[in-house]
Amino acid sequence: MNRVYKMTGRRFSEKCKSSVLLIIVVGTGILFCLPVLVLLAGSLADEVEWTQRMEAVIRNNSGYIIWKWIPDYPTGEHYRRLLFYTPQFLALFWNSIKIVSCILIGQLLIAVPSAWAFAVYEFRGKRKLFSLYIILMLLPFQVTMLSKYLVLSDFNLLDTHLAVILPAVFSTFPVFLIYRSFADIPRELLEAARIDGAGEVRLFMQVGIPLSGNGILAAMVLGFLEYWNMMEEPMAFLKDKSLWPLSLYLPEISVEQAGFASAASMLALIVSLFIFAIFKDTLASGIISSGIKG
Amino acid sequence: MPSKRMYNCTWRNKPRRRAAGKRYVKFLFLLPGLAGVSIFVLIPFADVVKRSFYTALSGEFVGLKNYMSVMQNTAFRLAVSNTVRFASICMPILLAAGLILAVIINQHGKWERFKFLYLLPMAMPAATVVLVWKMLFIKQGFVNSWLGSHIDFMGEDSAFYILVGSYVWKNLGYTLILWLAGLKAIPEDMMEAARVDGAGKTAIFFRIVLPNLKGSAFTITILSFLNSFKVFREAYLVSGSYPQEKIYLLQHVFHNWYTNLDFDKMAAGAVLTALVLGSVSILLQKLWDNAD
């Protein structure tokens, strides 16, 4: 704690100021989380109630959406309908799981060694190559969309899940994130291990990876959030809707079916929240280890 | 001379063999990634560069014609100006808001647990965000009910600011965490020394805290820049391919060229954008290296 800012004697006005700031910080935080609560509340109201609430929208008149935090007749009907009577939902859910797990595993196999190479070894053109990796990372999808489309088309991968998985596996973003964690490992440690007779691969597996576990995990969690919600790639490369991930199913539900849409969103969100809750501390320290000191 | 077998010491026997092996092993780590990147990004991009000099339909060589037509294309110019305007407005707001929040939280150690509240928005899929937007901003939405009006906010210039707000909302979490980490890394002795020398809080902030945050600032800038492109998703989901004028972004143009099969324009546009972003990135990296 910065001692410079610690007051030696707390006066009433200081405490007041402190309390006001606390309210602002926590209040804004809760405000930020409101949309999730809105969805949760909305998903528990049945269709009849939603029709009532959305009357102004349906009739397109000059009323407003009526909102109640606690539904008059709470119901799980949307969730039931989604989980048991909407096979597309489950199919797309599993599509998402499949796509994301394949991507993450692929990234682990490809990006982690690449980051290690950049962090630990010297070779000609290393700076330039890393610079190129950063540029590639910054390009929005639409810039490389055409080139990816052409290559995928040549390999006949369009309309298969590989069309989405393969380009993502070779993304340079995780290389950037994980590089920092590896670069923080002290050289002396590596040298000592080498002198003790460790081969390069052993060094990587038994020294590098354990020490950077946090950074790697954080990159994976960030990757999960990114690919669980990805939209542009499947939209561009998958014409067959049965191959779509969950993230593309949600927009298909119209706003008049707000209850149903809310439930579907909650279910999609729950997975993210789950991963989030498990890994939140790792995520925080991992973000730090990949970002600090520039 | 003692035979090699007498000595078990690895440092005498191994280095020569290992040095030779080591040279190749390091490439083994890099190769799969590099191969994939080349196949899926670099080589096809070279193809795109080539295509930018030909027409899409007839395949005849037209030199710089595609580039001229792209740069004179009103949609492209609008998109570029909007995208630049968006990035130059949303990024400073995000960085400043994050820093202010980080400074406040840093002064009260126990408040750190609240940072997770700010990370939650990052997990929400675009379609979910859009659902909430619609409830808020349509003619019969919540915001209108508070104001007593009936404005379709997404169809007016306000759409731009909704996008800015959504961007800050989504990204404040990790920005906060990165700033907090940077603040914590400032050596305490420096702060003590300054205080003993009689420096006031403002002086300490501007002369010690800020310069020490340069490293974090550049990382946060790059990540924020990267994320500023993602707002396209929400914009597209709400307003489709041809949204309100002020939120017509670069990605919209590319997307529309793609659906219309205007591959030649797309190629020229992609090369131009890559050149600009590449230069920006190199510039940022140079500044970053100089700051270290």
**How far is Cα B239 from Cα B252, in angstroms, rounded to an integer?**
11
**How far is Cα A105 from Cα B112, in angstroms, rounded to an integer?**
32
The SS3 of residue A174 is: helix
Question: What would the mean pLDDT of A57-77 be, rounded to a whole number?
Answer: 80
End-to-end distance of chain B based on CA atoms, in angstroms? Answer: 50
Report the residue from A137, A258, A262 with minimal CB separation from B226: A137
Q: For the segment A144-188, what is each residue's pLDDT rounded down to a tens digit?
A: 888 888 888 888 888 889 999 999 999 888 898 888 778 878 888
- In the predicted structure, residue A108 carries a pLDDT above the cut 50: yes
Report the residue from B104, B140, B178 with minimal CB separation from A291: B178
- In the predicted structure, residue A293 carries a pLDDT above the cut 80: no
Predicted pLDDT at A291: 60
Record: contact A26-B117, CB cut-off 8 A = yes
Q: Which of residues 187-226 of A touch B (CB under 8 A)?
A: 195-197, 199-201, 204, 225
Closest Cα in chain B, distance from residue A285 (Å):
9
Predicted pLDDT at B124: 86
| A270 in reach of chain B (CB within 8 A) | no
Query: Which one-letter DSSP state was computed for residue A170?
Result: T
- In the predicted structure, residue A137 carries a pLDDT above the cut 70: yes
**How far is Cα B1 from Cα B13, in angstroms, rounded to an integer?**
14
Tell me the percentage of chain A whose pLDDT exceeds 70. Answer: 93
Closest Cα in chain A, distance from residue B1 (Å):
23
**How far is Cα B28 from Cα B7, in angstroms, rounded to an integer?**
31
CATH class, domain A78-291, is mainly alpha
Chain A CB contacts of B25 below 8 Å: 199-201
Chain B CB contacts of A183 below 8 Å: none
Question: What would the mean pLDDT of B93-111 be, rounded to a whole number?
Answer: 87
Chain B CB contacts of A291 below 8 Å: 178, 181, 216, 219-220, 223
**How far is Cα B140 from Cα A61, in angstroms, rounded to an integer?**
8
Q: By CB neighbour count within 10 A (0-12 exposed, 13-18 middle, 19+ buried), where does B190 fall?
A: middle
Report the residue from A64, A150, A269 with minimal CB separation from B44: A150
Tell me the percentage of chain B whose pLDDT exceeds 90. Answer: 9
Q: For the segment A223-247, what is each residue's pLDDT rounded down to a tens digit?
A: 888 899 888 889 889 988 888 988 8
Lowest mean pLDDT among A181-190, A264-273, A281-290, B104-113: A281-290
What was the ipTM of the complex prediction?
A: 0.80
Predicted pLDDT at B136: 86
Placement of tokens 């307003």 in the chain = B239
| A25 in reach of chain B (CB within 8 A) | yes
Nearest CA in chain B to A227: B125
User: What are the residue ranges of helices labelled H in chain B?
Assistant: 10-37, 43-51, 65-72, 74-107, 115-119, 126-137, 142-147, 158-184, 188-196, 201-204, 210-212, 214-228, 231-239, 250-259, 263-291
Closest Cα in chain A, distance from residue B239 (Å):
12
The SS3 of residue A125 is: coil
The SS3 of residue A57 is: helix
**How far is Cα A200 from Cα A182, in angstroms, rounded to an integer?**
14
Q: For the segment B20-32, what is each residue's pLDDT rounded down to a tens digit?
A: 555 677 778 888 8
Predicted pLDDT at B39: 86
Q: Which of residues 124-163 of A touch B (CB under 8 A)?
A: 129, 131, 133-151
To probe the interface with B, which of A8, A31, A32 has the most B CB atoms within 10 Å? A32
Record: contact B191-A3, CB cut-off 8 A = yes
Predicted pLDDT at B135: 84
Reported as a pLDDT band with limits 50, 70 and 90, residue A294 is very low
Report the residue from A135, A139, A151 with minimal CB separation from B39: A151
Whether B29 and A113 have beta carbons less than 8 Å apart is answered as yes
Exposure string over A213-249, b if 16+ CB within 10 A, otherwise e: ebbbbbbbbbbbbbbbbbbbbbbbbbeeeebbbbbbb
Residues 6+ apart with CB under 8 A from B183: B102, B103, B106, B209, B213
Q: Which of A106-110, B191-195, B207-211 shows the highest mean pLDDT?
A: A106-110
Predicted pLDDT at B281: 82
Give the domain ranges of chain A: 3-59, 78-291
- Structural domains in chain B, sorted by start: 4-51 (no CATH), 65-291 (1.10.3720.10)
Closest Cα in chain A, distance from residue B266 (Å):
7
